[in-house]
Amino acid sequence: MKKKKLNYNIALLTLSIFSLFACETHPEAPETVGLGGHEIAVELEPVVQKAIGQPITGSGLIFSDTEARLSFKIGGIIERIYVEEGQSVRKGQLLAKLDLTEISAQVTQALNGMEKAERDLQRIQNLYEKDAATLENVQDLTTALNVAKETHRIASFNQRYAEIRATTSGKIIKKLMNEGELAAPGQPAFYMIDNRQNQWNLEIGLADKDWVKIGIGDLANIQLDAYPGENFQGKIIRMAEGADPSNGTYKVEIQVDPAGKRFAAGLYAEASIKTKQQQTYPIIPIEALVEGHGRQGFVFVPDESKGVRRIAVEIALILDQEIALANSLTGIPAVITKGAAYLTDYSTIKIITPEEGARTAVEGPSEAVSLAK
């Protein structure tokens, strides 16, 4: 009998020690003891209304405002290319030229035609003076000579533009053709930028509902993948007045300040445009949100019987430590912040001040019990 009693006492002592250890290693929510049972200590924060200008976002590629697409005026076989990608050039420098065999022949042909028209006109004028030709004959050959002169002028002009020269001092950033290729009239052979390196722009496409909210001169915050964590300032300088037929978006051009950083054409960038139009949102602390999923979530608010109500909310914006809600909280002056994570639809609460909450965090759950007494 004594042995059974001893074993019973040892088992009881072991269970007590295990229970004490479990309580110490798994802290629960701060609770108070009241007449209705366990009450969870919570803090409230007011719901405030704030006017916010929602930013408009878009992405695109950086390009130089001074970028030039250089091409041949006429078509032909490329005979020689004198520069490579990345090479610096000076204004007027010869970059490439066509094989002039065909165009030179056209110039010679036009010159011969002009000389023949001059001889024909001189001969008919002599006959006209001897009454052997009519005035109409003279006028026709005069017109033919003028046509021949213009034909020669066109051929000479084309011969002069059978080569590409740098329009300004700068750098070749892209070579699109090689020697021996057939170049079509106006087909770009080089992309170049001039030496004014600080003129960089970003082009983005916006939906119509976003396009109407912005205007020329609006400021933008620019972020580049090439410089993670750094922000660049921009300003809208041009806006398309019609939609792009290829994708239905409206093109917006933003001038970007490189702030001393090295930019290159084709860098990917994202823009956040600060709009002048503002909208009023209900603002709550971010810690009041529970069970958030995407733009949906819930908040708890106190009711009249020390209980709580769970209310569905939709997130419009996340502002640092606050959340702007898309739906209004009419008739709700405050939401539960600290302690909200421990609540259920059947919880009872005790509202404490931030000062009491700070003391509870320092002194432990025993303080919460003392607050209820």
Q: Confirm whether 168 is domain-assigned.
A: no
Q: Confirm whether 238 is domain-assigned.
A: yes
What average pLDDT is seen over the chain? 82
Provide φ and ψ at 351, rounded to 5°. Answer: -80, 125
Residues contacting 289, CB < 8 A, separation 6+: 297, 298, 299, 313, 315, 323
Q: Confirm whether 322 is domain-assigned.
A: yes
Residues 157 and 203 in one domain: no
Residues 111 and 124 in one domain: yes
**What pTM was computed for the model?**
0.50
Instruction: Give per-residue pLDDT as tens, 217-260.
Output: 999 999 999 999 899 999 999 999 999 888 899 999 999 998 88
The percent of residues in the chain predicted with pLDDT above 90, rounded, is: 39
At which of 242, 273, 304 does a domain end?
273
Name the pairing type of β-strands 31-34 and 37-42.
antiparallel
Residues 366 and 313 in one domain: yes
Give 298's pLDDT tier (boundaries 50, 70, 90): very high
Residues 214 and 292 in one domain: no
Q: Read off the tokens for 50.
A: 């704030």
Residues 360 and 306 in one domain: yes
pLDDT given at position 291: 81
Q: Confirm whether 350 is domain-assigned.
A: yes
Indicate which CATH number applies to the domain containing 113: 1.10.287
Q: Quick one: residue 9, left, alpha or beta (phi over 0 = left, psi -120 to 50 = alpha)?
A: alpha
Residues 249 and 310 in one domain: no
Question: Which range of residues forms the domain containing residue 207?
Answer: 57-65+197-273
Task: Give me the residue label for tokens 């740098």.
Answer: 166
Q: Confirm whether 307 is domain-assigned.
A: yes
Rounded Cα distance between 62 and 226, Å, is 11
pLDDT given at position 356: 67
Residues 258 and 315 in one domain: no
Residues 138 and 215 in one domain: no
Instruction: Give per-residue pLDDT as tens, 5-17.
Output: 344 343 333 333 3
Q: Confirm whether 189 is domain-assigned.
A: no
Residues 268 and 307 in one domain: no
Give 207's pLDDT tier (boundaries 50, 70, 90): very high
Q: Confirm whether 156 is domain-assigned.
A: yes
Question: Between residues 173 and 155, which one has the greater pLDDT?
Answer: 155
Instruction: Give per-residue pLDDT as tens, 324-370.
Output: 898 888 888 999 999 888 888 888 888 888 776 666 555 554 333 33
Once rounded to an integer, what is the mean pLDDT over residues 84-108? 90
At which of 273, 300, 333 does a domain end?
273
At which of 273, 296, 313 does a domain end?
273
pLDDT given at position 8: 37
Residues 37 and 116 in one domain: no
Q: Report the domain count for the chain.
A: 3
pLDDT given at position 252: 95
Task: Give me the residue label for tokens 């109409």.
Answer: 136
For residue 20, is pLDDT > 60?
no
Residues 237 and 285 in one domain: no
Cα 298 from chain centroid?
31
Counting Cα atoms < 13 Å in the Cβ hemisphere of 349 gives: 29
Q: Confirm whether 321 is domain-assigned.
A: yes
- Say if residues 279 and 272 touch (Cβ distance below 8 Å): no
Residues 362 and 318 in one domain: yes
Indicate which CATH number applies to the domain containing 41: 2.40.420.20
